[in-house]
Structure 1
Amino acid sequence: MFYQTLIDEFTAMSRGIIGEKLTGIYLHGSMAMNCFNSEKSDIDLLIVIEDGIRNVQKIEFLKQFVKLNEKGPAKGLEISIVKREFCKPFVYPTPFELHFSPMYLQWIKDNPENYVESMKGMDKDLAAHFTVINKYGIVLYGEMIEHVFEEVPKKDYIDSIWCDVKGASEEITKEPIYMILNLCRVLAFIKDNLYLSKQSAGEWGVSHLPRKYHFLISRALDCYKSNQLMREDMELARQFANEMLAIICRQKLILSDE
């Protein structure tokens, strides 16, 4: 596995700080789905705990985690800590105890106390993360996935992945690879009930979406699997986003009436 030493260090660090309250540590995202690219992917991790942990533990966790993040891929590591009681039975939106993403590094460095006080609440993204864990997740430590996680209801999963793409009309010009492949992933689930990685979703899109977008999707795929930047026709990309969002909205309405 890529970054195995780093993952082992993370697991040992988490066990040391959280101790007996630790239920399990789970790998999800592109690495678990076998489409990891060290230049384009982050490492997605989820920690489940039996009960809340103190702020002093969170601060120590972040202090060590920031150092580990420096050893990671270009996009870094992303992690959420969640109480077991919200995993099974599943609660949506899902409460979380702590979240880390590299976008918050400066905040953590400047004021870790304020960060741990603020970085807790509800996160709709966790429904998608739990779904990937149920389908593809890897146990790094602790209890088996089926003992900890309940299947995420379809309506909650759809709402979660919809939140990730609903701004695609504007965001596709800034992050064309991410948005094109994610739109394909949402459509693959809504149309064919498939739980796909970005890479597999792009391949599905080339086979199932209108021919006029095949080159655009193929370029997104090529760039995702390599270190290339995507510099395609952004007007066509916006057209793709608008057309796919319209299809998704229609399908969501149909599914909500079922």
Structure 2
Amino acid sequence: MPPEIQTYLEKLSKHLQTVLESNLVGVYLQGSGAQNDFRSGTSDLDVLVVVHNQIPGTQKDILASELDHKKLPVPAAGLDLMIVRKYAAQHLTQAPEYEFWFSTGEYWDTTVDKNGSTSEVLMYIATCAEQAQVLSGLDPQQVFSAVPHNILLQTLIDILEWHRTKILDNLHDPLGQYSVLNAARAWMYAEDKKLGSKAEGGMWVLVQESDNELVKNALLIRDEKSTTSPDAKEIDIFLQRVIEVCRAKLA
């Protein structure tokens, strides 16, 4: 990771410790930053924060102010930060509750969601259980339960269904690589039960299908070696195909 990213993560962790104090269990970097798949300029920083108890609204307001890109500039595409209670990280449901979901960045609209529930929390928990980089706090094995295969598979299906509504979306996936590579790693997980990075998923697909030009192009875009956007219908067909594979594994 570039030194400016490490410095930022240290500052972020200190802000969280100052605000949350003894309620804080740990701060964990997950996603591409913890999977050796970070791409400067295009990757965002995915951070999962775990607390013992519910967070007062006043603390959420402070965090939203202190962590805003305008106050604490993010040296990456953006910051995607979620806070969950330790209970939710250990007693899993299909849609775990979160205390706070926050995103900010130079070209991102800063968004604040002060509570809710979604199956996407399970993806965060699963990656932290296997691959988290501890920024502060307890070892991940003391915090996160392993997510059962079928539950995580359903989560990946939910994520791909969401991607189908955002194909070539200017904000979420302007060149289509995120939807394609998320589908690739979902396929890898469905077949091999391995939760890898987007790049690992793409390479796995190319082992199965060396002529898959859609995935080849997505990997080139991720490495900033191409700006050729594929056809939206072609992406959707691939997403539907992977969703069908995942659903078959659930049966």
TM-score by structure 2 length?
Answer: 0.87
Residue 134 of structure 1 and its aligned partner are, at CA, apart by 1.3
Where 1:100 maps in the other structure, the secondary structure is: strand
Where 1:186 maps in the other structure, the secondary structure is: helix
Where 1:78 maps in the other structure, the secondary structure is: strand
Q: Find the partner of 2:21 among 19, 22, 31.
A: 19
Gaps of 5+ in 1: 108-114
1:56 paired with 2:58, answer yes
- The equivalent residue for 2:73 is 71
CA 1:62 to 1:251, structure 2 compared with 1: closer, same or farther past 3 Å? Answer: closer
- The equivalent residue for 1:199 is 199
For residues 110-160 of structure 1, give each alpha carbon's deviation from its aligned partner in whole angstroms, at most 9, with x where no partner exists.
Answer: xxxxx5xx5311021111111111111111111111111100111221121
- The equivalent residue for 1:256 is 250
Q: Is contact 2:122–2:152 with CA below 8 Å preserved after alignment?
A: yes
Q: Find the partner of 1:101 among 96, 100, 103.
A: 103
Residue 217 of structure 1 and its aligned partner are, at CA, apart by 1.3
Q: How many residues get paired? A: 241
Residue 191 of structure 1 and its aligned partner are, at CA, apart by 1.6
Larger radius of gyration: 1
Q: For 2:154 and 2:18, how far apart are their aligned partners in 1?
A: 36
Q: Find the partner of 1:216 among 214, 220, 238.
A: 214
- The equivalent residue for 1:156 is 151
Of Structure 1 and Structure 2, the greater helix share is in 1
Q: Is contact 2:181–2:199 with CA below 8 Å preserved after alignment?
A: yes
Where 1:81 maps in the other structure, the secondary structure is: strand
Where 2:203 maps in the other structure, the secondary structure is: helix
Query: 1:26 corresponds to which letter in structure 2?
Result: Y
TM-score by structure 1 length?
Answer: 0.85
- The equivalent residue for 1:229 is 227
Where 1:101 maps in the other structure, the secondary structure is: strand
Q: Is contact 1:26–1:140 with CA below 8 Å preserved after alignment?
A: yes
- The equivalent residue for 2:124 is 129
Residue 183 of structure 1 and its aligned partner are, at CA, apart by 1.1
CA 1:89 to 1:168, structure 2 compared with 1: closer, same or farther past 3 Å? Answer: closer
Residue 68 of structure 1 and its aligned partner are, at CA, apart by 7.0
Larger CA deviation: 61-70 vs 12-21: 61-70
